[in-house]
Amino acid sequence: MWMLGCDKEDIYDEYLKSAVFIKEYNGEEGYRKAPLTYSVHREWLEGMFEAIYECYASKEEFFKEEYGIDEDAIKIIRDNCLI
């Protein structure tokens, strides 16, 4: 979502919605047995963004350095994924 240009708040919202799916898919028992495995926390995602920005000046630099995806490739991905 980040590569596609979505706002961070939208990314947080979608990430947090995954908690519902995780709980439904794994059930209460699965959650009780491994709560960290089946948990989502906004702070974890915020920490990821903070760690990236500690190392990189921009998300574009992050994608280029970590995945070899430059701005031209990002544009192609966006053109093919966004309607």
Residue 71 vs residues 8, 11, 27, 53: alpha-carbon distances, Å: 19, 20, 41, 18
* Higher local confidence (pLDDT), 19 or 11: 11
The structural domains of the chain, with segments of one domain joined by +, span 8-81
Give the model confidence (pLDDT) of 14-46 as tens digits.
988 887 777 777 666 766 666 666 678 899 999
Residue range 3-11: mean pLDDT, rounded: 93
Start-to-end Cα distance in the chain:
14
Average pLDDT score, the chain = 87
How is residue 32 written in tokens?
Answer: 């009780």
Instruction: Give the Å distances, CA to CA, from 15 to 23, 45, 63, 67.
Output: 13, 8, 20, 22
Q: What is the pTM of this model?
A: 0.73
